[in-house]
Amino acid sequence: MGGRSANAKQHRRTMIREITNRLGLGFTTCLGLCLLAAPALRGGVANLRAYPEYLRVDPFGQIVPEDRAAIGTQAAGAHQGQGRRSISLLGARGGYVSFHLVAELSGDEGYSLELRLAPENSGIQTDVYREWFHSIQNAKGYYPDALIPIQLPYSSRLPEPDNRISGQKAQAFWIDLWIPPSATPGLYHGRAVLNAGRNRATLPIELKVLPADVPERDVVTVDHNSYGSSWLGDQYPGLAEELPDFYSSDAFFHLIQAYHRIFYEHRGVFHQLGYGHAGKVGPEFAPALAGAGRNRHIANWDLYDRHYGPLFDGSAFAGTRRGARPIPFVYLPINPEWPASFVNWGEPGYEAEFVNVVSEMERHFREKQWTQTRFEMFFNHKKRYMGFPWDGDEVRFPKDNQYFVEYARLLKKALPPDTPVKFVFRADVSWDMEQQFRELQGMVKMWISSGGILSWYQGAARMLQERGDLVWYYSGPPGVNEASATISKFPFQAWLWGVDGFVHWLAVDPGQDPWFRLVDGTTTVVYPGDRFGREEPIPSIRLKIQRNCLQDLALLDSLRNRHPLEALKSEAAKRYNNSRLENWWNPRPPFADQPAFEWTNTGIGEATSRTSKMLESIRPDAWADVHAYVMQLISEAP
């Protein structure tokens, strides 16, 4: 197919760009390299400092207020609470280690930065990103978050011209060191070098690669949700204006796939819901239909297959470090108005339209061998948006459950009993989850639950998993102006709870002006690369910290064959925030015996206050302490 060929071409271009960005620099085992503690400074106007990932530095060289709490604690003490003039790192194979590298200058001068690492066949790769400093509404000062991929040597000046911060004295860089599974365990040395006029500073880097391997599979699925695709046109105006048929162009589909890739490379998954609350379906999210009643059928798969084909067969991920693999989950476009028209609801024509089209979909997926992905029938609509008379999302009134029962019946009728295609009925639940767990048993097989209310039902996750269901919980990204480790609490809680995943309900909306007036970042963990000439998203510090947390969780969980899982969880919780496992649950409140439509948000708030209070303030170095525990355990491994 022409589309497939163009796809491959674009993908190659992207890969070449990624590869060049990785610098291709390997660390060398030059054990004789001296770790010089002091840089060659002339006049003290050029400094290079390294900070652990949880200490973010502002454009004036100060640690941001929310991370300063870490200074003086044990973990921060190991880094002296300030930037260090050398850094030693420890990591497992098949994973990343990261740190901030900060160039400090007297200001208003040019500089260049490089990492002088003797090339070697270690396979270890370095990704370097310039940290963008955001001005945040309702907060004082600047915070780094968006990460702009750069190539080294990197030359610029302070103040950084595009970031436009008067009096800027420091530029931070996020350094990712990728240790491939093939890397030889041992010590690797290198150095970063900063040149500014006649001044020069060096920072020695030591990396110890352990023989342990970060498991490929995550123990917690972290999902990044989004709605529709009009936001892509908004966030990539250059591309959208350049292409009159942007929403059906190859560039559009490559952009969508780039979002899947960035989350995949950060050990996450990406969801795009393709329909609205009254049933409008975006053209690329569903095959085109024709006919009505018994004659309703799929007329055209073109846009759907161009959108999803490379995602379902994994080719969209070719060349990534994690390897080509089909996406594990996807929303179906099914809603009360698609594929059957609601005008026929309750009549034989509704069933005919639904069964005809869903059967065709199953056949198409089977013929394409798209059998690795879970295809989710999910109802997102709410009555309050006036499209339909029942809540698909977060049922509060039990009478609405009858619609789930009917759709389960229709889905069952549409699918061959032995289909290898993984259709799954998903429900996002809160108020009425306890009743839904009972009444929809055997129908709904994927539960995305309110974290607050799920915290009352300690045995629920296990009960659901034992009958073969998946259980995730949801919340949203922490603000950029919260402590750096805050994002770790979500996957960590999921692991402690024993649930399968966590959803950031909205992860791609940085607001109208993320660069100079970021609201707070609570609806995004990636940023559009458009401003920097990139037709793809760029990551954030929070996304990187989350990825590193997921690596540690995968490692920690893999140790359950040598340590009791409960002991691992207990020790990790203790190190994280000095908590005990029972502190991560709330008692089921007496009002839970009443119908959910009698509850109030105030009551729910009070009934979840124990965990919410415990988690409202996370130490910036909380995860560093867990990471140290993981490194200690895998270092002890035979």
Partner 1 sequence: MTFLCLLFVMSGLPRSAAQGVPPPAADLPEQLDEVARVGSVMVDGDLCERIVTQRALTYMFEVDPRDRWAAGDNYDVDDAPFIEVKKTLLRLSHLVPFPADVNLWMPIKGRPDKIRIVIRNTHEMSQFWPWGALYQDMIPQMKTVLETGERITVTEKPGWISVLAPVSDSLGDVVGVLEVVTQTQSDAHANVK
Residue 599 corresponds to which tokens in the numbers above?
Answer: 């509850």
Find out whether the peptide bond into 348 is cis, omega within 30 degrees of 0: no
- Alpha carbon 580 to chain centroid, angstroms: 27
Closer CB to partner 1, residue 380 or residue 586?
380
**Choice between 399 and 517, CB closer to partner 1:** 399
| CB of 279 vs partner 1, minimal distance in Å | 5
Work out how close the CB of 383 gets to partner 1 at its nearest, in angstroms, rounded to a whole number: 5
Q: Is residue 240 within 8 Å of residue 233, measured between CB atoms?
A: yes
Contact at 8 Å (CB) between 143 and 520?
no
Which is closer to partner 1, CB of 312 or CB of 350?
Answer: 350
- Nearer to partner 1 by Cβ, of 144 and 339: the residue is 339
For residues 526 and 536, is the Cβ–Cβ distance under 8 A?
A: no
**Residue whose CB is less far from partner 1, 36 or 405:** 405
Distance of closest approach, residue 386 Cβ to partner 1, in angstroms: 5
Instruction: Please give the helix or strand (H or E) that residue 286 lies within, else none.
Output: none
Minimum distance between the CB of residue 287 and partner 1, rounded to whole angstroms? 13
Is-contact 275 333, C-beta < 8 A? Answer: yes
d(CA 190, CA 193): 10
Kindly tell me which residue out of 195, 221, 229, 481 binds partner 1, with binding defined by CB under 8 A. Answer: 229
Q: 241 to 280, contacts with partner 1 by CB under 8 A?
A: 247, 273-280
**Does residue 476 touch partner 1 according to CB under 8 A?**
no
Residues in region 275-304 near partner 1 by CB under 8 A: 275-283, 285, 289-292
Closest CA to 147 of 546, 476, 503: 546
- Within 579-598, which residues bind partner 1 (CB under 8 A)? 597
Question: Prior bond to 528 cis, omega within 30?
Answer: no
Give the three-state DSSP class for 269: strand
Assess 600 for contact with partner 1 (CB under 8 A).
Answer: yes
Separation of first and last alpha carbons in the chain: 51
Please state the closest distance from residue 341 (CB atom) to partner 1, in A: 7
Q: Print the binding letters for residues 80-119 with partner 1: x by CB under 8 A, - otherwise.
A: ----------------------------------------
Buried b (16+ CB within 10 A) or exposed e, 456-493: bbbebbeebeeeebbbbbbbbbbbbbbbbbbbbbbbbb
CB of 271 to partner 1, least distance (A): 13
Q: If phi over 0 gives left and psi between -120 and 50 gives alpha, with beta otherwise, what is residue 479?
A: beta
**Min separation Cβ 295 and partner 1, Å:** 9
Q: Which of residues 345-374 bind partner 1 (CB under 8 A)?
A: 345-346
Nearer to partner 1, 100 or 306 (CB): 306
Judged by CB, which is closer to partner 1: 26, or 282? 282
Q: Which stretch binds partner 1 (CB under 8 A): 14-22, 376-384, 472-480, 525-533?
A: 376-384
Q: Which residues fall within 8 angstroms of residue 10, CB to CB, at 6 or more apart?
A: 250, 251, 254
Nearer to partner 1, 120 or 606 (CB): 606
For 154-176, the three-class secondary structure string (H helix, E strand, C coil) is EEEEECCCCCCCCCCCEEEEEEE
Nearest approach, Cβ of residue 318 and partner 1 (Å)? 28
Among 138, 512, 561, 601, binds partner 1 (CB under 8 A): 601
In the complex with partner 1, the residue whose CB is nearer, 72 or 346, is 346
> Which segment (123-131, 229-237, 262-270, 421-429) binds partner 1 by CB under 8 A?
229-237
x-marked contacts with partner 1 along 378-417 as a string, rule CB under 8 A: ----xxxxxxxxx-----xx-x------------------
What is the DSSP annotation of 90-158? EEEETEEEEEEEEEEESSSEEEEEEEE----TT--EEEEEEEEEEEBTTS-SEEEEEEEE--SSEEEEE
CA separation (Å) from 253 to 303, 319, 509, 565? 9, 18, 18, 42
Q: Of 544, 540, 514, 515, give the one whose Cα is nearest residue 525.
A: 540
The label of the residue with tokens 């160039």 reads 103
Q: Which of residues 317-346 bind partner 1 (CB under 8 A)?
A: 337, 341-343, 345-346
Q: Which is nearer to partner 1, 110 or 389 (CB)?
A: 389
Q: Which is nearer to partner 1, 273 or 499 (CB)?
A: 273
> Is-cis flag, bond preceding 638, omega within 30?
no
Q: Can residue 602 be called a binding residue for partner 1 (CB under 8 A)?
A: yes
Which is closer to partner 1, CB of 17 or CB of 396?
396
Closest CA to 448 of 474, 423, 475, 422: 474
Interface residue with partner 1, options 233, 476, 511, 589 (CB under 8 A): 233
Q: At closest approach, how far in Å is the CB of 184 from partner 1?
A: 49
State which of positions 143-202 bind partner 1 (CB under 8 A). Answer: none
Longest dimension (CA), the chain: 84
Query: Can you give the binding site for partner 1, defined by CB under 8 A?
Result: 227-230, 233, 247, 273-283, 285, 289-292, 337, 341-343, 345-346, 382-390, 396-397, 399, 431, 597, 600-602, 605
